[in-house]
Structure 1
Amino acid sequence: MKLYRLLAAILATATALAATAAWADRLDDIKKSGVLRVAAFDGNPPFGFIDPETKKQTGHDIDLARAYAKQLGVELKLIPTNPANRIPLLTSGKADVVFASFTITDERAKVVDFTTPYFLVGQVFLAKKGVLSSLDKLKGLRVGTEKGTTMEANLRKNYPDARVVLYDDSPLALAALRNGNVQAITNDGVKLTAQWNTLPEAERADYEIPNFTVSKEYLGAAVPKGEKALLDSLNSWLLASEADGLALNTYNKWFGPDSRAPLPRLLKIGDPVVP
Protein backbone atom coordinates (compact mmCIF):
# COMPACT_ATOMS: atom_id res chain seq x y z
CA MET A 1 0.00 0.00 0.00
CA LYS A 2 2.87 2.35 0.68
CA LEU A 3 4.13 2.02 -2.91
CA TYR A 4 0.57 2.43 -4.20
CA ARG A 5 0.25 5.74 -2.32
CA LEU A 6 3.57 6.88 -3.79
CA LEU A 7 2.48 6.05 -7.35
CA ALA A 8 -0.92 7.66 -6.85
CA ALA A 9 0.74 10.84 -5.55
CA ILE A 10 3.11 10.93 -8.54
CA LEU A 11 0.21 10.57 -10.95
CA ALA A 12 -1.94 13.18 -9.19
CA THR A 13 0.91 15.68 -9.21
CA ALA A 14 1.61 15.05 -12.89
CA THR A 15 -2.03 15.60 -13.83
CA ALA A 16 -2.41 18.76 -11.76
CA LEU A 17 0.72 20.33 -13.19
CA ALA A 18 0.28 19.26 -16.80
CA ALA A 19 -0.69 22.73 -18.00
CA THR A 20 1.29 24.86 -15.56
CA ALA A 21 4.87 23.59 -15.48
CA ALA A 22 7.33 26.06 -13.99
CA TRP A 23 10.72 26.67 -15.58
CA ALA A 24 13.72 27.09 -13.30
CA ASP A 25 16.79 25.47 -11.76
CA ARG A 26 18.11 22.42 -13.65
CA LEU A 27 15.61 22.96 -16.45
CA ASP A 28 16.91 26.50 -16.93
CA ASP A 29 20.46 25.15 -17.03
CA ILE A 30 19.48 22.64 -19.70
CA LYS A 31 17.89 25.29 -21.88
CA LYS A 32 20.81 27.67 -21.43
CA SER A 33 23.39 25.01 -22.27
CA GLY A 34 21.31 23.64 -25.12
CA VAL A 35 22.02 20.06 -24.01
CA LEU A 36 19.88 17.47 -22.21
CA ARG A 37 22.01 14.70 -20.65
CA VAL A 38 20.04 11.45 -20.44
CA ALA A 39 21.32 8.24 -18.87
CA ALA A 40 20.01 5.31 -20.91
CA PHE A 41 20.78 1.64 -21.32
CA ASP A 42 23.15 0.42 -24.02
CA GLY A 43 22.74 -3.30 -23.31
CA ASN A 44 19.08 -3.92 -22.50
CA PRO A 45 17.00 -4.32 -25.66
CA PRO A 46 14.48 -3.11 -26.56
CA PHE A 47 14.58 -0.29 -23.99
CA GLY A 48 18.15 0.74 -24.84
CA PHE A 49 20.92 -1.00 -26.78
CA ILE A 50 23.57 -0.52 -29.43
CA ASP A 51 22.30 -0.86 -32.98
CA PRO A 52 24.66 -3.35 -34.68
CA GLU A 53 24.56 -1.42 -37.95
CA THR A 54 24.82 2.21 -36.82
CA LYS A 55 26.82 1.43 -33.63
CA LYS A 56 24.64 4.00 -31.84
CA GLN A 57 22.29 3.72 -28.88
CA THR A 58 18.70 3.10 -29.80
CA GLY A 59 15.54 1.71 -28.24
CA HIS A 60 12.15 2.60 -26.76
CA ASP A 61 13.42 4.78 -23.90
CA ILE A 62 15.92 6.52 -26.15
CA ASP A 63 13.18 7.42 -28.62
CA LEU A 64 11.22 8.98 -25.75
CA ALA A 65 14.29 10.89 -24.55
CA ARG A 66 14.97 12.14 -28.07
CA ALA A 67 11.39 13.36 -28.45
CA TYR A 68 11.52 15.18 -25.11
CA ALA A 69 14.79 16.89 -26.05
CA LYS A 70 13.22 17.97 -29.34
CA GLN A 71 10.26 19.44 -27.47
CA LEU A 72 12.69 21.43 -25.30
CA GLY A 73 14.59 22.56 -28.39
CA VAL A 74 17.93 21.20 -27.14
CA GLU A 75 20.50 18.60 -28.18
CA LEU A 76 20.28 15.13 -26.65
CA LYS A 77 23.45 13.73 -25.08
CA LEU A 78 23.14 10.05 -24.22
CA ILE A 79 25.11 8.65 -21.29
CA PRO A 80 25.33 4.82 -21.36
CA THR A 81 24.40 3.21 -18.07
CA ASN A 82 23.71 -0.13 -16.46
CA PRO A 83 21.09 -0.64 -13.71
CA ALA A 84 23.47 -0.06 -10.80
CA ASN A 85 24.71 3.30 -12.12
CA ARG A 86 21.37 4.99 -12.74
CA ILE A 87 21.05 6.72 -9.37
CA PRO A 88 24.76 7.63 -9.03
CA LEU A 89 24.66 9.37 -12.42
CA LEU A 90 21.83 11.58 -11.16
CA THR A 91 23.15 12.25 -7.68
CA SER A 92 26.63 13.09 -8.98
CA GLY A 93 25.25 15.62 -11.44
CA LYS A 94 26.50 13.73 -14.51
CA ALA A 95 23.00 13.21 -15.90
CA ASP A 96 19.85 15.35 -15.90
CA VAL A 97 17.35 12.56 -16.51
CA VAL A 98 17.32 8.77 -16.43
CA PHE A 99 15.28 7.02 -19.10
CA ALA A 100 16.28 3.40 -18.47
CA SER A 101 13.46 0.98 -17.65
CA PHE A 102 13.50 2.37 -14.09
CA THR A 103 11.07 0.74 -11.65
CA ILE A 104 9.47 3.19 -9.23
CA THR A 105 10.05 2.10 -5.62
CA ASP A 106 9.73 3.74 -2.21
CA GLU A 107 13.43 3.26 -1.52
CA ARG A 108 14.57 4.87 -4.77
CA ALA A 109 12.10 7.73 -4.34
CA LYS A 110 14.03 8.78 -1.23
CA VAL A 111 16.98 9.87 -3.39
CA VAL A 112 15.49 10.68 -6.82
CA ASP A 113 12.16 12.01 -8.07
CA PHE A 114 10.11 9.90 -10.48
CA THR A 115 7.74 10.99 -13.20
CA THR A 116 4.29 9.57 -13.66
CA PRO A 117 4.59 5.93 -14.84
CA TYR A 118 4.93 5.43 -18.59
CA PHE A 119 5.21 1.62 -18.66
CA LEU A 120 3.91 -1.38 -16.72
CA VAL A 121 5.73 -4.72 -16.59
CA GLY A 122 5.84 -7.89 -14.51
CA GLN A 123 8.85 -9.93 -13.40
CA VAL A 124 9.06 -13.34 -15.12
CA PHE A 125 11.60 -16.11 -15.75
CA LEU A 126 13.27 -17.69 -18.76
CA ALA A 127 14.51 -21.27 -18.46
CA LYS A 128 14.83 -24.47 -20.44
CA LYS A 129 11.50 -26.20 -20.85
CA GLY A 130 10.45 -28.15 -17.77
CA VAL A 131 13.08 -26.69 -15.42
CA LEU A 132 10.81 -24.14 -13.72
CA SER A 133 7.26 -25.46 -13.72
CA SER A 134 6.28 -23.58 -10.55
CA LEU A 135 7.71 -21.03 -8.11
CA ASP A 136 8.43 -23.85 -5.67
CA LYS A 137 11.14 -25.04 -8.07
CA LEU A 138 13.18 -21.90 -7.35
CA LYS A 139 14.54 -23.51 -4.18
CA GLY A 140 18.23 -24.20 -4.76
CA LEU A 141 18.04 -23.06 -8.38
CA ARG A 142 20.80 -20.83 -9.76
CA VAL A 143 18.96 -17.77 -11.07
CA GLY A 144 20.73 -14.98 -12.93
CA THR A 145 19.64 -11.34 -12.98
CA GLU A 146 21.05 -7.82 -13.20
CA LYS A 147 22.67 -6.29 -10.14
CA GLY A 148 21.03 -3.25 -8.58
CA THR A 149 17.53 -4.04 -9.89
CA THR A 150 14.16 -4.72 -8.34
CA MET A 151 14.44 -8.20 -9.83
CA GLU A 152 17.39 -8.90 -7.52
CA ALA A 153 15.57 -7.39 -4.53
CA ASN A 154 12.40 -9.40 -5.19
CA LEU A 155 14.32 -12.66 -5.42
CA ARG A 156 16.30 -12.09 -2.23
CA LYS A 157 13.26 -10.98 -0.24
CA ASN A 158 10.60 -13.41 -1.47
CA TYR A 159 12.64 -16.43 -2.59
CA PRO A 160 15.63 -16.61 -0.23
CA ASP A 161 16.27 -20.26 -1.12
CA ALA A 162 17.07 -19.35 -4.73
CA ARG A 163 20.79 -19.00 -5.49
CA VAL A 164 21.01 -15.51 -7.00
CA VAL A 165 23.82 -14.85 -9.49
CA LEU A 166 24.35 -11.21 -10.51
CA TYR A 167 25.41 -9.74 -13.85
CA ASP A 168 26.08 -6.22 -15.09
CA ASP A 169 23.43 -6.40 -17.81
CA SER A 170 20.82 -8.69 -19.30
CA PRO A 171 22.89 -9.96 -22.29
CA LEU A 172 25.48 -11.33 -19.85
CA ALA A 173 22.73 -13.07 -17.89
CA LEU A 174 21.35 -14.62 -21.08
CA ALA A 175 24.81 -15.84 -22.06
CA ALA A 176 25.14 -17.47 -18.63
CA LEU A 177 21.83 -19.27 -19.14
CA ARG A 178 22.86 -20.52 -22.56
CA ASN A 179 26.21 -21.86 -21.36
CA GLY A 180 24.73 -23.49 -18.26
CA ASN A 181 26.17 -21.24 -15.56
CA VAL A 182 22.64 -20.57 -14.33
CA GLN A 183 19.45 -22.60 -14.70
CA ALA A 184 17.09 -19.64 -15.14
CA ILE A 185 17.23 -15.89 -15.54
CA THR A 186 14.70 -13.32 -14.41
CA ASN A 187 13.78 -9.87 -15.64
CA ASP A 188 10.70 -7.96 -16.64
CA GLY A 189 8.57 -9.66 -19.25
CA VAL A 190 9.41 -7.11 -21.93
CA LYS A 191 13.16 -7.64 -21.74
CA LEU A 192 12.98 -11.41 -21.43
CA THR A 193 10.63 -11.75 -24.39
CA ALA A 194 12.94 -9.61 -26.50
CA GLN A 195 15.97 -11.64 -25.40
CA TRP A 196 14.23 -14.94 -26.06
CA ASN A 197 13.44 -13.78 -29.58
CA THR A 198 17.11 -13.02 -30.28
CA LEU A 199 18.02 -16.70 -29.97
CA PRO A 200 18.39 -18.83 -33.11
CA GLU A 201 15.05 -20.41 -33.93
CA ALA A 202 16.17 -23.98 -33.20
CA GLU A 203 17.61 -22.98 -29.82
CA ARG A 204 14.65 -20.75 -28.93
CA ALA A 205 12.37 -23.79 -28.99
CA ASP A 206 14.33 -25.28 -26.07
CA TYR A 207 13.37 -22.43 -23.73
CA GLU A 208 10.16 -21.08 -22.24
CA ILE A 209 8.82 -18.24 -20.11
CA PRO A 210 6.67 -20.03 -17.50
CA ASN A 211 3.16 -18.67 -17.11
CA PHE A 212 3.55 -16.85 -13.79
CA THR A 213 4.83 -13.48 -12.59
CA VAL A 214 6.22 -12.41 -9.22
CA SER A 215 5.60 -8.66 -9.34
CA LYS A 216 3.85 -5.74 -11.00
CA GLU A 217 6.28 -2.91 -11.72
CA TYR A 218 5.63 0.63 -12.90
CA LEU A 219 8.45 2.31 -14.81
CA GLY A 220 9.16 6.03 -14.80
CA ALA A 221 11.83 8.51 -15.80
CA ALA A 222 13.82 9.98 -12.92
CA VAL A 223 15.40 13.35 -12.14
CA PRO A 224 17.62 14.58 -9.28
CA LYS A 225 15.78 15.02 -5.99
CA GLY A 226 14.12 18.42 -5.67
CA GLU A 227 14.32 19.43 -9.34
CA LYS A 228 10.63 20.35 -9.43
CA ALA A 229 10.64 22.38 -12.64
CA LEU A 230 12.31 19.62 -14.62
CA LEU A 231 9.99 17.01 -13.12
CA ASP A 232 6.90 19.09 -13.91
CA SER A 233 8.10 19.62 -17.47
CA LEU A 234 8.68 15.91 -18.00
CA ASN A 235 5.29 14.99 -16.54
CA SER A 236 3.51 17.51 -18.73
CA TRP A 237 5.32 16.19 -21.81
CA LEU A 238 4.58 12.55 -20.95
CA LEU A 239 0.86 13.24 -20.59
CA ALA A 240 0.89 15.20 -23.84
CA SER A 241 2.71 12.35 -25.61
CA GLU A 242 -0.14 10.03 -24.66
CA ALA A 243 -2.74 12.49 -25.89
CA ASP A 244 -1.07 13.13 -29.26
CA GLY A 245 -0.24 9.48 -29.98
CA LEU A 246 3.55 9.71 -29.71
CA ALA A 247 3.71 7.35 -26.72
CA LEU A 248 1.55 4.73 -28.46
CA ASN A 249 3.51 4.98 -31.72
CA THR A 250 6.79 4.58 -29.84
CA TYR A 251 5.42 1.57 -27.98
CA ASN A 252 4.20 -0.06 -31.18
CA LYS A 253 7.57 0.47 -32.86
CA TRP A 254 9.32 -1.62 -30.21
CA PHE A 255 6.56 -3.83 -28.74
CA GLY A 256 3.74 -3.88 -31.28
CA PRO A 257 2.59 -6.96 -33.21
CA ASP A 258 5.22 -6.47 -35.95
CA SER A 259 8.12 -5.96 -33.53
CA ARG A 260 10.67 -8.47 -32.26
CA ALA A 261 9.13 -8.29 -28.77
CA PRO A 262 5.36 -8.23 -29.30
CA LEU A 263 3.54 -7.57 -26.02
CA PRO A 264 0.16 -6.07 -25.14
CA ARG A 265 0.30 -2.53 -23.80
CA LEU A 266 -0.74 -2.68 -20.13
CA LEU A 267 -0.68 1.05 -19.31
CA LYS A 268 -1.70 4.32 -20.88
CA ILE A 269 0.21 7.27 -19.44
CA GLY A 270 -2.07 8.92 -16.92
CA ASP A 271 -4.04 5.76 -16.10
CA PRO A 272 -4.91 5.22 -12.41
CA VAL A 273 -2.31 3.15 -10.59
CA VAL A 274 -3.58 -0.26 -9.50
CA PRO A 275 -1.68 -1.93 -6.62
Structure 2
Amino acid sequence: MTATTSPADPAAQAALAGLFAPTGVLRAAINLGNPILAHTDPATGAPGGVSVDLARACARQLGLALELCVFTTAGQSVDAVTQEQADIGFFAVDPVRGAGIGFTAPYVLIEGSYLVHGSSPLQANDEVDRPGTRVVVGAGSAYDLHLTRALQHASIVRAPSSPAVTDMFVAGGYEVAAGVRQQLEADLQRHPGHRLLPGCFMVIQQAMGLPKGRGEDARAHLARFVEEMKATGFVHDALRRHGIAGASVAPAA
Protein backbone atom coordinates (compact mmCIF):
# COMPACT_ATOMS: atom_id res chain seq x y z
CA MET A 1 0.00 0.00 0.00
CA THR A 2 1.50 3.34 -0.93
CA ALA A 3 1.55 6.34 1.36
CA THR A 4 -1.15 8.35 -0.38
CA THR A 5 -3.98 6.75 1.60
CA SER A 6 -2.10 6.63 4.90
CA PRO A 7 -2.63 9.32 7.55
CA ALA A 8 0.27 11.79 7.76
CA ASP A 9 1.03 11.30 11.46
CA PRO A 10 1.03 8.30 13.83
CA ALA A 11 -1.78 9.70 15.99
CA ALA A 12 -4.08 10.03 12.99
CA GLN A 13 -3.24 6.50 11.84
CA ALA A 14 -3.91 5.14 15.32
CA ALA A 15 -7.28 6.91 15.44
CA LEU A 16 -8.22 5.53 12.04
CA ALA A 17 -7.13 2.03 13.03
CA GLY A 18 -9.37 2.34 16.08
CA LEU A 19 -12.35 3.14 13.86
CA PHE A 20 -11.73 0.08 11.72
CA ALA A 21 -10.77 -2.39 14.42
CA PRO A 22 -12.03 -1.69 17.97
CA THR A 23 -10.51 -4.98 19.15
CA GLY A 24 -7.04 -3.97 17.95
CA VAL A 25 -7.03 -6.68 15.25
CA LEU A 26 -8.52 -6.25 11.78
CA ARG A 27 -11.02 -9.07 11.34
CA ALA A 28 -11.72 -9.75 7.65
CA ALA A 29 -14.69 -11.87 6.58
CA ILE A 30 -13.68 -14.19 3.72
CA ASN A 31 -16.38 -15.97 1.71
CA LEU A 32 -15.13 -19.25 0.24
CA GLY A 33 -18.43 -19.61 -1.62
CA ASN A 34 -17.13 -17.22 -4.31
CA PRO A 35 -14.34 -19.09 -6.12
CA ILE A 36 -13.36 -15.98 -8.07
CA LEU A 37 -12.18 -14.22 -4.93
CA ALA A 38 -11.30 -16.84 -2.33
CA HIS A 39 -10.21 -20.47 -2.05
CA THR A 40 -8.35 -22.81 0.25
CA ASP A 41 -4.88 -24.13 -0.53
CA PRO A 42 -5.32 -27.84 -1.32
CA ALA A 43 -2.07 -28.69 0.45
CA THR A 44 -2.35 -26.56 3.60
CA GLY A 45 -6.04 -25.66 3.84
CA ALA A 46 -5.07 -22.01 4.32
CA PRO A 47 -7.37 -19.40 2.73
CA GLY A 48 -6.05 -17.45 -0.23
CA GLY A 49 -7.22 -15.42 -3.19
CA VAL A 50 -7.86 -11.85 -4.25
CA SER A 51 -9.93 -10.96 -1.19
CA VAL A 52 -7.29 -12.38 1.16
CA ASP A 53 -4.59 -10.35 -0.61
CA LEU A 54 -6.67 -7.18 -0.25
CA ALA A 55 -7.34 -7.90 3.42
CA ARG A 56 -3.61 -8.25 4.09
CA ALA A 57 -2.84 -5.02 2.24
CA CYS A 58 -5.54 -3.17 4.19
CA ALA A 59 -4.21 -4.45 7.52
CA ARG A 60 -0.66 -3.40 6.60
CA GLN A 61 -1.85 0.10 5.64
CA LEU A 62 -3.62 0.49 8.98
CA GLY A 63 -0.72 -0.96 10.95
CA LEU A 64 -2.89 -3.76 12.32
CA ALA A 65 -2.60 -7.49 12.75
CA LEU A 66 -5.03 -9.45 10.56
CA GLU A 67 -7.48 -12.18 11.51
CA LEU A 68 -9.25 -14.03 8.70
CA CYS A 69 -12.84 -15.01 9.54
CA VAL A 70 -13.60 -17.70 6.97
CA PHE A 71 -17.14 -18.54 5.88
CA THR A 72 -18.64 -20.88 3.29
CA THR A 73 -21.50 -18.65 2.15
CA ALA A 74 -22.04 -15.00 1.30
CA GLY A 75 -24.90 -14.79 3.79
CA GLN A 76 -22.65 -15.81 6.68
CA SER A 77 -20.06 -13.24 5.66
CA VAL A 78 -22.69 -10.50 5.39
CA ASP A 79 -24.09 -11.38 8.82
CA ALA A 80 -20.62 -11.30 10.41
CA VAL A 81 -19.92 -7.76 9.20
CA THR A 82 -23.45 -6.47 9.80
CA GLN A 83 -23.31 -7.77 13.39
CA GLU A 84 -19.76 -6.37 13.83
CA GLN A 85 -18.27 -9.80 14.37
CA ALA A 86 -15.92 -8.86 11.50
CA ASP A 87 -14.55 -5.44 10.58
CA ILE A 88 -14.34 -5.63 6.80
CA GLY A 89 -15.65 -7.97 4.13
CA PHE A 90 -15.88 -8.55 0.40
CA PHE A 91 -19.37 -8.49 -1.09
CA ALA A 92 -21.47 -8.02 -4.16
CA VAL A 93 -23.10 -4.62 -3.80
CA ASP A 94 -26.82 -4.98 -3.11
CA PRO A 95 -29.36 -2.59 -1.54
CA VAL A 96 -30.56 -5.24 0.93
CA ARG A 97 -27.05 -5.69 2.27
CA GLY A 98 -26.58 -1.92 2.26
CA ALA A 99 -28.93 -1.61 5.24
CA GLY A 100 -26.13 -2.71 7.55
CA ILE A 101 -22.97 -2.43 5.45
CA GLY A 102 -21.18 0.64 4.10
CA PHE A 103 -19.83 -0.23 0.65
CA THR A 104 -16.93 1.09 -1.38
CA ALA A 105 -17.09 1.34 -5.15
CA PRO A 106 -16.51 -2.06 -6.79
CA TYR A 107 -13.02 -3.37 -7.41
CA VAL A 108 -13.98 -6.37 -9.58
CA LEU A 109 -16.83 -7.08 -12.00
CA ILE A 110 -18.09 -10.66 -12.26
CA GLU A 111 -20.66 -12.14 -14.65
CA GLY A 112 -23.68 -14.08 -13.42
CA SER A 113 -24.83 -16.78 -15.83
CA TYR A 114 -27.49 -19.43 -16.28
CA LEU A 115 -26.82 -23.16 -16.72
CA VAL A 116 -29.44 -25.38 -18.38
CA HIS A 117 -29.81 -28.96 -19.55
CA GLY A 118 -28.50 -29.66 -23.04
CA SER A 119 -32.02 -30.45 -24.24
CA SER A 120 -33.59 -27.38 -22.64
CA PRO A 121 -35.72 -25.19 -24.94
CA LEU A 122 -34.20 -22.10 -23.28
CA GLN A 123 -31.77 -20.32 -25.58
CA ALA A 124 -31.46 -16.81 -24.08
CA ASN A 125 -31.35 -15.19 -20.65
CA ASP A 126 -34.61 -13.31 -21.15
CA GLU A 127 -36.46 -16.61 -21.74
CA VAL A 128 -35.85 -17.86 -18.19
CA ASP A 129 -38.54 -15.80 -16.47
CA ARG A 130 -41.56 -17.89 -17.39
CA PRO A 131 -44.09 -19.94 -15.40
CA GLY A 132 -42.89 -23.44 -14.55
CA THR A 133 -39.19 -22.56 -14.64
CA ARG A 134 -37.35 -23.26 -11.39
CA VAL A 135 -34.05 -21.44 -10.89
CA VAL A 136 -31.57 -22.83 -8.35
CA VAL A 137 -29.42 -20.22 -6.57
CA GLY A 138 -27.17 -20.14 -3.51
CA ALA A 139 -29.18 -18.93 -0.53
CA GLY A 140 -28.32 -15.33 0.34
CA SER A 141 -26.01 -14.89 -2.65
CA ALA A 142 -25.99 -11.83 -4.88
CA TYR A 143 -27.88 -13.90 -7.46
CA ASP A 144 -30.54 -14.82 -4.93
CA LEU A 145 -31.05 -11.17 -3.93
CA HIS A 146 -31.10 -9.94 -7.54
CA LEU A 147 -33.36 -12.66 -8.94
CA THR A 148 -35.78 -12.38 -6.01
CA ARG A 149 -36.44 -8.84 -7.23
CA ALA A 150 -36.14 -9.46 -10.97
CA LEU A 151 -38.06 -12.70 -11.64
CA GLN A 152 -41.79 -12.22 -11.98
CA HIS A 153 -42.91 -15.67 -13.22
CA ALA A 154 -40.12 -18.21 -12.61
CA SER A 155 -39.66 -19.60 -9.10
CA ILE A 156 -36.48 -19.68 -7.02
CA VAL A 157 -35.08 -22.78 -5.33
CA ARG A 158 -32.32 -22.08 -2.80
CA ALA A 159 -29.30 -24.32 -2.38
CA PRO A 160 -27.36 -24.23 0.92
CA SER A 161 -24.41 -22.48 -0.75
CA SER A 162 -23.30 -21.27 -4.17
CA PRO A 163 -20.88 -24.19 -4.78
CA ALA A 164 -23.79 -26.60 -4.13
CA VAL A 165 -26.06 -25.07 -6.79
CA THR A 166 -25.14 -27.24 -9.77
CA ASP A 167 -25.26 -30.53 -7.88
CA MET A 168 -28.70 -29.63 -6.52
CA PHE A 169 -29.85 -28.51 -9.98
CA VAL A 170 -28.80 -31.83 -11.53
CA ALA A 171 -30.02 -34.07 -8.71
CA GLY A 172 -33.40 -32.34 -8.48
CA GLY A 173 -34.09 -32.12 -12.20
CA TYR A 174 -34.63 -28.37 -12.06
CA GLU A 175 -34.71 -26.20 -15.18
CA VAL A 176 -32.00 -23.58 -14.51
CA ALA A 177 -28.99 -23.02 -12.26
CA ALA A 178 -27.70 -19.50 -11.63
CA GLY A 179 -24.26 -18.49 -10.42
CA VAL A 180 -20.76 -17.23 -11.14
CA ARG A 181 -19.92 -18.02 -14.76
CA GLN A 182 -16.51 -19.51 -13.87
CA GLN A 183 -18.03 -21.78 -11.22
CA LEU A 184 -20.65 -23.03 -13.66
CA GLU A 185 -18.02 -23.59 -16.36
CA ALA A 186 -16.02 -25.71 -13.93
CA ASP A 187 -19.17 -27.63 -12.97
CA LEU A 188 -19.70 -28.55 -16.63
CA GLN A 189 -16.59 -30.72 -16.39
CA ARG A 190 -18.34 -32.81 -13.74
CA HIS A 191 -21.76 -32.68 -15.37
CA PRO A 192 -21.48 -33.03 -19.16
CA GLY A 193 -24.66 -32.73 -21.15
CA HIS A 194 -25.44 -29.25 -19.90
CA ARG A 195 -24.71 -25.80 -21.33
CA LEU A 196 -24.47 -22.14 -20.39
CA LEU A 197 -26.85 -19.63 -21.93
CA PRO A 198 -24.99 -16.97 -23.94
CA GLY A 199 -23.97 -13.77 -22.21
CA CYS A 200 -24.92 -12.98 -18.63
CA PHE A 201 -28.08 -12.08 -16.74
CA MET A 202 -26.28 -9.68 -14.40
CA VAL A 203 -22.88 -8.12 -13.76
CA ILE A 204 -21.90 -8.30 -10.12
CA GLN A 205 -20.13 -5.30 -8.63
CA GLN A 206 -17.79 -6.81 -6.06
CA ALA A 207 -16.81 -4.29 -3.38
CA MET A 208 -15.37 -4.04 0.09
CA GLY A 209 -17.59 -3.10 3.00
CA LEU A 210 -17.60 -2.48 6.73
CA PRO A 211 -20.26 -2.17 9.43
CA LYS A 212 -22.30 0.96 8.78
CA GLY A 213 -21.93 1.97 12.42
CA ARG A 214 -18.19 2.55 11.95
CA GLY A 215 -19.06 5.88 10.34
CA GLU A 216 -18.41 7.75 7.11
CA ASP A 217 -14.76 8.53 7.86
CA ALA A 218 -13.90 4.84 8.00
CA ARG A 219 -16.00 4.04 4.92
CA ALA A 220 -14.42 6.90 2.94
CA HIS A 221 -10.92 5.71 3.85
CA LEU A 222 -11.78 2.16 2.77
CA ALA A 223 -13.14 3.58 -0.48
CA ARG A 224 -9.85 5.42 -1.10
CA PHE A 225 -7.96 2.21 -0.34
CA VAL A 226 -9.98 0.32 -2.98
CA GLU A 227 -9.43 3.05 -5.58
CA GLU A 228 -5.69 2.92 -5.03
CA MET A 229 -5.62 -0.85 -5.22
CA LYS A 230 -7.25 -0.57 -8.64
CA ALA A 231 -5.13 2.33 -9.85
CA THR A 232 -1.78 0.82 -8.85
CA GLY A 233 -2.52 -2.51 -10.57
CA PHE A 234 -2.78 -4.44 -7.28
CA VAL A 235 -6.18 -5.93 -8.14
CA HIS A 236 -5.16 -6.74 -11.71
CA ASP A 237 -2.00 -8.47 -10.50
CA ALA A 238 -3.93 -10.43 -7.86
CA LEU A 239 -6.40 -11.73 -10.46
CA ARG A 240 -3.52 -12.82 -12.66
CA ARG A 241 -1.53 -14.31 -9.77
CA HIS A 242 -4.45 -16.49 -8.73
CA GLY A 243 -5.24 -17.54 -12.29
CA ILE A 244 -8.66 -15.87 -12.43
CA ALA A 245 -10.05 -15.50 -15.94
CA GLY A 246 -13.35 -13.88 -16.86
CA ALA A 247 -13.40 -11.29 -14.07
CA SER A 248 -12.31 -7.72 -14.77
CA VAL A 249 -11.01 -4.84 -12.69
CA ALA A 250 -13.80 -2.32 -12.13
CA PRO A 251 -13.25 1.18 -13.55
CA ALA A 252 -12.28 4.05 -11.29
CA ALA A 253 -15.12 5.43 -9.19
Distance in 2 (CA, whole Å) between partners of 1:182 and 1:253 is: 36
Matched, 1:114 2:132: no
Offset, 1:110: 2.8
Confirm or deny that 1:246 pairs with 2:238. no
Kept in 1: contact 2:38–2:49 (CA 8 A): yes
The count of aligned residue pairs is 242
Contact 1:25–1:229 (Cα < 8 Å) also in 2: no
Q: Please name the residue that 2:245 is paired with.
A: 262
> Which of 77, 94, 108 is residue 86 of structure 1 equivalent to?
77
Counterpart residue number, 2:150: 158
* Residues 113 and 225 in structure 1, CA contact (< 8 A), matched pair in contact too: yes
1:219 aligned residue: 206
Secondary structure of 1:161's aligned partner: coil
Q: How does 1:167-182 map to 2 (within 5 A)?
A: 167-182=159-174
Matches within 5 A, 1:50-65: 50-65=40-55
TM-score w.r.t. length of structure 1:
0.75
Once the two structures are TM-superposed, the CA of residue 233 in structure 1 deviates from its matched residue by 2.7
Higher RCO by CA contacts (8 Å cutoff, separation 6 or greater): 1
For 1:24 and 1:263, how far apart are their aligned partners in 2?
39
Match of 2:32 among 42, 61, 66: 42
Q: How much does 1:130 deviate? A: 4.2
Query: 1:264–1:164: structure 2 CA closer, same or farther, 3 Å change rule?
Result: closer
- Aligned-residue offset at 1:218: 1.7
Please identify runs of 4+ aligned residues in structure 1 that moved more than 3 A. Answer: 17-26, 29-34
Partner Cα distance (2:26, 2:50) in 1: 17
Give the strand-richer structure, 1 or 2. Answer: 2
- Where in structure 2 are there 5+ consecutive unaligned residues? none
Instruction: Determine helix, strand or coil for the equivalent of 1:28.
Output: helix
Alignment partner, residue 57 of structure 2: 67
- 2:96 is equivalent to residue 128 of structure 1: no
The equivalent residue for 2:223 is: 235
How far apart in 2 are the matches of 1:214 and 1:43? 19
Displacement after TM superposition at 1:181 (Å):
4.2
Distance 1:23 1:225, change over 3 A: farther
SS in structure 2 of the partner of residue 208 of structure 1? strand
Q: What SS does the aligned partner of 1:175 have?
A: helix
Q: What is the rounded CA distance, in whole Å, between the counterparts of 1:155 and 1:112 in structure 2?
A: 20
Q: Letter of the 1:194 partner, please give it.
A: Q
1:185 corresponding residue in structure 2 = 177
Per-residue Cα deviation, 1:53-78 (whole angstroms, up to 9, x for no partner) = 21122222122112222232322211
Which sections of structure 1, spanning at least 5 residues, go unmatched?
1-16
Which amino acid is the alignment partner of residue 225 of structure 1?
K
Contact conserved, 1:43 with 1:50, CA < 8 A, in 2?
no
Separation in 2, partners of 1:89, 1:67: 21
- More off after superposition, 165-174 vs 209-218: 209-218
Q: Aligned pair in 2 of structure 1 residues 23, 252: CA closer, same or farther (>3 Å)?
A: same
Q: What CA deviation, in whole Å up to 9, does each residue of 1:217-261 have, x standing for no partner?
A: 32211111142333233222222222322111012234xxxx3x5
Residue 192 of structure 1: how far off its partner (Å):
2.7
Indicate the percent of aligned positions where both proteins have the same amino acid: 23
